[in-house]
Amino acid sequence: MDNTPERKQRVLSLIQPTSIPTLGNYLGALKNWKTMSREYDCIYGVADLHALTVRIEPSTLRSQTQQMLAMLLSLDLDPENNIVFVQSHVHTHAELAWILNCYTQFGEASRMTQFKDKSRKHADNINVGLFDYPVLMAADILVYQSQFVPIGADQKQHLELARNIADRFNGVYGQTFTVPEPFIGQKGARIMSLQDPTSKMSKSDANPKASVSILDTPDVILKKFKSAVTDSEASVRYAEGKDGINNLMTIYSCCTGLSYEQIESDFAGKGYGDFKKAVAEAVIEELRPVQETYARIIKDKAYIAECAKSGAEKALYVSQKTLRKVQKKVGLWQG
31, 34, 116, 118: the catalytic one is 118
CA 173 to chain centre: 32
CATH of the domain at 261: 1.10.240.10
- Return the pLDDT at 308: 97
Contact 98, 49 (CB under 8 A): no
For this structure, is 118 an active site residue?
Answer: yes
116, 156, 200, 209: the catalytic one is 200
Residue 208 lies in a domain: no
8, 34, 187, 203: the catalytic one is 203
CATH of the domain at 129: 3.40.50.620
In this predicted structure, the answer to whether residue 32 has a pLDDT above a threshold of 70 is yes
In this predicted structure, the answer to whether residue 41 has a pLDDT above a threshold of 60 is yes
For this structure, is 325 an active site residue?
Answer: no
Do 168 and 107 reside in the same domain of the chain? Answer: yes
Closest CA to 142 of 169, 124, 117, 120: 169
Residue 211 lies in a domain: no
In this predicted structure, the answer to whether residue 5 has a pLDDT above a threshold of 60 is no
Domain holding 236, by residue range, is: 218-295
- The tally of domains found in the chain comes to 2
Strand order through the sheet with 10-15: 83-86, 41-46, 10-15, 148-149, 181-182
- Its pTM stands at 0.89
For this structure, is 203 an active site residue?
Answer: yes
Closest CA to 312 of 88, 114, 7: 88
Q: d(Cα 87, Cα 316) in Å, to the nearest integer? A: 10
Do 321 and 249 reside in the same domain of the chain? Answer: no
Do 125 and 52 reside in the same domain of the chain? Answer: yes
Do 278 and 307 reside in the same domain of the chain? Answer: no
As a residue count, the chain comes to 335
Contact 290, 214 (CB under 8 A): yes
Q: d(Cα 50, Cα 17) in Å, to the nearest integer? A: 9
Measuring CA to CA, how many Å separate 161 from each of 111, 176, 276?
Answer: 10, 16, 42
- Return the pLDDT at 185: 57
